[in-house]
Structure 1
């Protein structure tokens, strides 16, 4: 094993050890970047790495061997989601009543409807121009599914030994004709 592979393995160790665990405490939620602290030995502001330095984190001291030409750090890559672990996730179906298109997405129990809408925008860039409804009722976009009385039936399906993806709660989107001329 070469030196590059050994360094890479050492830098992957904190991430592998944290696999499946909440690492949100590694990041500053306001700036969406690695937390920093003042090193007591040098007085320099350095990244906070409680489990050791990991991939894309510079060494604490100047080092000519460290290549910083890797592009975007992994925690800023939109294909990864760094956040707080959800207590429970579930799948919901979102039906666009204008186009009859359906999308199934996995949502966290803690997500409010505007957060779900933000994630749904990749399927429909105009989703904010729709009224979101469930069972004929307008949904409060500042509340969660549960707070909007959209019950999670997963436990009932489990108790009945039924496949829980046979029936998904569905939210219907009704287009608001807001294209009027003034």
Structure 2
């Protein structure tokens, strides 16, 4: 599916937390703001964004309008952007200013050029076990990801992962489907309700090497 977005875990977003490599997430979107930081280098309006590098800033926005939150100023009765962490890039000043360009379009939070994917609504842990070598790798994956996308996550640990058949409970997995669609249950909520350690019940995915010399 060429238009399918890439999904990221919060941990992946958090890894991009410097001025030279700055990501944020908000309203389910993941954005790479590194070009914005370079464009406005030295601007004090970058400070609130840099403070939240690698973090989720959904609280800055109205989920219905997908715009920055607003409030009615008690003195002027004018609608203004609500920015308790300080005014940031593309937020206009409170009053008229001769040094402010009012024709900014679109603002960075509306500009899709910064979007690199979607933030997972629910991540989960799995154990990927290579039955040939008995090596085991724990992976945090996105519940929205297909097995083929999870395989991409696993490749740094086993560059030959494509040469294996992926199975769970003896059944071969459909690599075009998600874990849930392959009947690999996500029992995190149930285990938490029972006050059981989720790490002790992490589902295992077994990798069986495809021996091309084996017949039948």
What is the TM-score normalised by the length of structure 1? Answer: 0.61
Match of 1:11 among 40, 43, 46: 46
Partner Cα separation in structure 2 for residue 126 and residue 21 of structure 1: 38
Q: For residue 32 of structure 1, what is the aligned residue in structure 2?
A: none
Mapping for residues 107-146 of structure 1, pairs under 5 Å: 107-146=141-180
SS at match of 1:131: strand
1:102 aligned to 2:161?
no
Distance verdict in 2 for CA 1:165–1:17, change over 3 Å? same
Aligned length: 129
- Does structure 2 retain, via aligned residues, the 8 Å contact 1:133–1:173? yes
- How far 1:145 sits from its partner (Å)? 0.2
Please state how far the C-alpha of 1:172 moved relative to its aligned partner.
0.1
What RMSD, in angstroms, separates the aligned Cα atoms of the two structures?
3.3
Shift, 1:7, TM fit: 2.2
User: Partners of 1:167 and 1:115 in 2: how far apart?
Assistant: 23
Q: Runs of 5+ in structure 2 lacking a partner?
A: 1-40, 59-65, 67-100
User: Is 1:50 the equivalent of 2:84?
Assistant: no
Equivalences for residues 27-106 of structure 1 within 5 A = 49-50=108-109, 82-106=116-140
Aligned counterparts of 1:21 and 1:146: Cα–Cα separation in 2 = 29
Which ranges in structure 1 are unaligned for 5 or more consecutive residues? 1-5, 26-38, 52-74, 76-81
Supply the distance in 1 between the matched residues of 2:149 and 2:122 (Cα, whole angstroms): 16
User: With structure 2 as the length reference, what TM-score do the two structures score?
Assistant: 0.52
